[in-house]
Structure 1
Amino acid sequence: MLESIRKTTAYIQSRINGFEPEVGIILGTGLGGLVNEIEIEKQLMYSNIPDFPISTLEFHSGKLIFGTLAGKKVVAMQGRLHYYEGYTMQQITFPVRIMKMLGIKTLLVSNASGALNPAFKKGDLMVIEDHINLQPDNPLRGNNEELGPRFPDMSQPYRKDLIESALKIADKNSIACHKGVYVSVTGPNLETRAEYRYLRIIGGDAVGMSTVPEVIVANHMNLPVFAISVVTDEGFPEVLEPVSVESIIAIAQAAEPKMTLILKELIAQL
Structure 2
Amino acid sequence: MSNTRNTEFNSKQTATYLKRQTSLRPQLAMVLGSGFQAALSHIEVDVEIPYGKLPGFLSVGVSGHVGRLVVGKLGGVPVLILKGRTHFYEGHEMEQLTFPVRVLADFGIRNLLLTNAAGGINKKFRPGDLMVLTDHINLMGSNPLRGPGLFGVPRFVDLTDVYDERLRGLLLQAGKKIKLRTQSGVYLAVAGPSYETPAEIRAYGRLGADAVGMSTVPEAIVARQCGLKVAGLSCITNLGAGMSKTPLSHQEVLAMAEQQKAKIAEFIKAFCELYAKS
TM-score by length of 1: 0.95
Is the CA contact 1:162–1:266 (under 8 Å) kept in the aligned structure 2?
no
Match of 1:49 in 2: 54
Q: Which amino acid aligns with 1:232?
A: T
C-alpha separation in 2, matches of 1:9 and 1:133: 28
Is the CA contact 1:61–1:79 (under 8 Å) kept in the aligned structure 2?
yes
C-alpha separation in 1, matches of 2:75 and 2:152: 30
C-alpha separation in 1, matches of 2:245 and 2:153: 42
The answer to whether structure 1 residue 129 and structure 2 residue 146 are counterparts is no
Match of 1:38 in 2: 43
SS of residue in 2 equivalent to 1:8: helix
Give per-residue Cα distances to partners, 1:130-173, cap 9 Å, x unaligned: 00000111111123364421111111100112212222331233
Which residue of 180, 187, 192 corresponds with 1:175? 180
Shift of 1:260: 2.8
Q: Which amino acid aligns with 1:13?
A: K
Match of 1:231 in 2: 236
Match of 1:13 in 2: 19
SS of residue in 2 equivalent to 1:149: coil
C-alpha separation in 1, matches of 2:170 and 2:13: 37
Alignment of 1:174-213 (within 5 A): 174-213=179-218
The answer to whether structure 1 residue 3 and structure 2 residue 14 are counterparts is no
Give per-residue Cα distances to partners, 1:98-144, cap 9 Å, x unaligned: 11111112101111000000100011111111000001111111233
C-alpha separation in 2, matches of 1:147 and 1:261: 39
Q: Give aligned-pair identity as a percent.
A: 37
CA distance 1:188–1:236, change in 2 (3 Å): closer
Structure 2: stretches of 5+ with no match in the other structure: 1-6
SS of residue in 2 equivalent to 1:200: helix
C-alpha separation in 2, matches of 1:229 and 1:72: 22
SS of residue in 2 equivalent to 1:210: coil
Is the CA contact 2:44–2:74 (under 8 Å) kept in the aligned structure 1?
yes
Is the CA contact 1:123–1:230 (under 8 Å) kept in the aligned structure 2?
yes
Q: Which amino acid aligns with 1:139?
A: P
SS of residue in 1 equivalent to 2:35: coil
Shift of 1:246: 1.2
Q: Which amino acid aligns with 1:246?
A: Q
C-alpha separation in 2, matches of 1:165 and 1:49: 31
C-alpha separation in 1, matches of 2:81 and 2:166: 22
Alignment of 1:97-116 (within 5 A): 97-116=102-121
SS of residue in 1 equivalent to 2:134: strand
CA distance 1:249–1:238, change in 2 (3 Å): closer
Give per-residue Cα distances to partners, 1:200-233, cap 9 Å, x unaligned: 1111000000000000011101101111110011
Match of 1:78 in 2: 83
C-alpha separation in 1, matches of 2:263 and 2:41: 14
Is the CA contact 1:21–1:74 (under 8 Å) kept in the aligned structure 2?
yes
Is the CA contact 2:38–2:264 (under 8 Å) kept in the aligned structure 1?
no
Match of 2:34 in 1: 29
TM-score by length of 2: 0.92
Q: Which amino acid aligns with 2:15?
A: T
